[in-house]
Amino acid sequence: MCHTDEYTRSGLDPEGVFPSILGHEGGGVVESIGEGVTEFAIGDHVIPLYIPQCRKCKYCKSTKTNLCQSVRPTQGRGLMPDQTARFKIVSTGESVFHFMGCSTFSQYTVLPEVSLVKINKEAPLDKVCLLGCGITTGYGAVINTLKVEAGASVLVIGLGGVGLAAIMGASKVGATRIIGVDINAGKFERAMQFGATDVINPLDKEKYGSKMLPEIIFDLTEGVGVDYSIECVGTPFTMKQAFECTKPNGGCSCVIGVAASGQFLELDAKELYAREWTGSAFGGAKSKDDVPKYVDEYMKGEIKVDEFITHHFPLSEIMHSFEAMHKGECIRAIIDLWAD
């Protein structure tokens, strides 16, 4: 269960098509294969990839992006590459659209070969399914996009699953100061467990008075700012604040959160001098190459996965997972598709 599912379910996604089967974080077992499929066999354990990797298009061959374009024109319209939908409402025959090329809120789904990756069969699918989006997104932003170095200072705004994964990545590479920011103080203990050295609620007036987040951060860093900031909320306001918290000379801010269509932000152009601003999708991961590596890292105990899971729901109670998300209680919920 991911916030992106809720974004589309809510009707705010301008590219959302209905009716559709949501879900894009998942793990499963290959039940059958179509004509011409050579990469998979029945019984393989796999993770669906909402960002595929064909290894042939100019984007896959580029070292600067991971946004494979092989199925983009049809995936964005809720269709398979052959421009068909493989789901139907039995009673009416009406087509049901695919979601992000995955549609994992279903006991059975159909994906193109480029949108699936084989993983270690020993890995528990009800855990490593989370590597299909949120964990890879935050962890990869540190490892692949920013390439954070040992000894660096890192600010993470938004302590949901993606933010915690970014903190985990920063801790793994040896960042010495990792500052977590959220307006829900209930998330602070978990952030510290993942590696945060400091936690801040910028709305805590008793502690910070009327100071805005950039001023709080510069006070905390003795007027220097942070080497890297990572924005995991998805609003122009937090994006701007994340950028303004970085070092004026050599700082870099990475946007992960996705703002709603049509939103804009304003920034004094002078602030861009000697700073960098970048974005990251799926943690910059080349999906077929990197997801199996992250599964193996988990199996070796090198990265956390279990610790992200706060809730379990059977498919029949999936709406409760959205409610838990809205209450700020849920980091990641696992939807058991086969539970009674």
330 carries an active-site annotation:
no
The one catalytic residue among 8, 68, 145, 232: 68
The one catalytic residue among 24, 45, 98, 190: 24
68 carries an active-site annotation:
yes
129 carries an active-site annotation:
no
The one catalytic residue among 6, 54, 113, 275: 54
25 carries an active-site annotation:
yes
Q: Write out the E strands in the chain.
A: 28-29, 45-48, 87-88, 95-96, 116-118, 153-157, 177-181, 198-200, 228-231, 252-255, 276-279, 309-314, 332-336
The one catalytic residue among 9, 31, 45, 60: 60
9 carries an active-site annotation:
no
245 carries an active-site annotation:
no
252 carries an active-site annotation:
no
The one catalytic residue among 6, 9, 65, 72: 72
The one catalytic residue among 6, 9, 57, 113: 57
The DSSP result for 91-112, as a single string, is TT--EEB-STTT--SSSS----
* Rounded Cα gap, residues 62 and 162, in angstroms: 25
* Rounded Cα gap, residues 232 and 256, in angstroms: 5
* Rounded Cα gap, residues 64 and 258, in angstroms: 20
Indicate the DSSP class of residue 149: P
133 carries an active-site annotation:
yes
- CA distances 48 to 45, 190, 263, 266, 282, Å, are 10, 28, 30, 37, 13
The one catalytic residue among 2, 129, 232, 252: 2
24 carries an active-site annotation:
yes
177 carries an active-site annotation:
no
Nearest CA among 291, 298, 1 for reference residue 124: 298
The one catalytic residue among 98, 102, 104, 133: 133
Give the residue numbers annotated as catalytic, written as ranges: 2-4, 24-25, 54, 57, 60, 68, 72, 133, 332
